[in-house]
Chain A
Amino acid sequence: MINASDRQIIEALQGGLPLTPTPYAQVAEDLGMDEDAFLIRLAELKSRGVIRRIAAAPNHYKLGMTSNGMTVWDVDDDRVAELGAQIGALPFVTHCYERPRALPEWPYNLFAMVHGKDRGEVEEKRAEITAILGDACRAKDILYSTRILKKTGLRLKAKG
């Protein structure tokens, strides 16, 4: 859970970190804090997992990764943890999750997002996943994104 002071810090950083030599000092000043105290607070938010990392979100499209396929797999429940870890470690998989099935409509429990320059490249990468999963995989599919309908990310509502 987050308190009012956490929330103030999160709100100050939601828009991003300044690209200036002393970015933390700059945000700290806006918050009326000194830099050392602010760095300690950030370290604490990281240790609690509220901040996962401070990093760049690249634009896949601008990098020529215009094809994105959500690959989905029906994997033995007994083996999904072990195999999921292997799939998540592949360099071309950006997100990998175990999720519940929604039977009968949706038999898949492992989701791995694959990006590529075109569908051919995505299919090649998908074949590598197929090979790793082997006979632990009973069914598979791929869903290509055809349109981004909304992309705003997490926004805290203004309150407290």
Chain B
Amino acid sequence: MTLDATDRAILNRMQNDLPLTSRPYAVVAEELGLTERDLLDRLSRMKDERVITRFGPFFDAAAMGGAFCLCAMAVPAEKFETVLTKVNAHAEVAHNYERTHRLNMWFVLATETPEGIKAAADAIERETGIEVLRFPKLQEFFIGFRVAA
């Protein structure tokens, strides 16, 4: 789909927090000089077209007592698909990307307890015979996950 200037303004605004009030979209629509109806129609269209993958609360697993951990593995090319199947079979693997490096498989473990990270990473090492390097965040430089539309 093609996005017009209004769609882009909406997309930029909606990457920031929605207010906690009875008619939150009406508040945002007013900020943007739109009607609530127009805002909701455009948001629904962008969601249907998958320009917006998800709209709703972003949860922090750590604040829930759980944990996230970025992990990396150096997977030999000939074993890549086999290892991938084993890694992705773990429900704790939230995202997984192939990347251009000797460490070519990068995934995020999301678990409900901090101990869950070690358990899942150790299990993957046992099943694949490949070391799982662990890169938990020490510090987050958080401004917002904004991408200018």
Contact = CB atoms under 8 A, between A and B. Distances in A.
Count chain A CB atoms within 10 A of each CB in B26, B93, B142 and give the residue with the most.
B142
Contact of A50 (B59, B93, B106): B59
B140 A97 contact: yes
A156 B111 CA distance: 8
A105 B138 contact: no
B64 A84 contact: no
B146 A16 contact: no
Contacts of B11: 56, 58, 63
B23 interface: yes
A45 B47 CA distance: 25
Contacts of A48: 63
Contacts of B140: 88, 96-98
A25 B24 CA distance: 11
Interface residues of A, number: 77
A115 interface: yes
Contacts of B16: 53, 55
Nearest to A27: B56
A23 to B, nearest CB: 7
A97 B22 contact: no
Nearest to B100: A144
B25 A63 contact: no
B149 A58 contact: yes
B119 interface: no
B141 A150 contact: no
Interface in A12-46: 13-17, 19-25, 35, 39, 42-43, 46
Count chain B CB atoms within 10 A of each CB in A59, A96, A102 and give the residue with the most.
A59
10 contacts: A13-B56, A22-B23, A57-B145, A59-B50, A81-B139, A91-B146, A96-B141, A97-B140, A111-B70, A150-B107
Interface of A: 1-2, 6, 10, 13-17, 19-25, 35, 39, 42-43, 46, 48-60, 62-63, 65, 70, 80-81, 84-85, 87-89, 91-100, 102, 105-106, 109, 111, 115, 141, 143-157
Given A89-B141, A99-B136, A102-B133, 7 more contacts: A50-B64, A51-B60, A57-B58, A63-B51, A92-B148, A105-B103, A155-B94
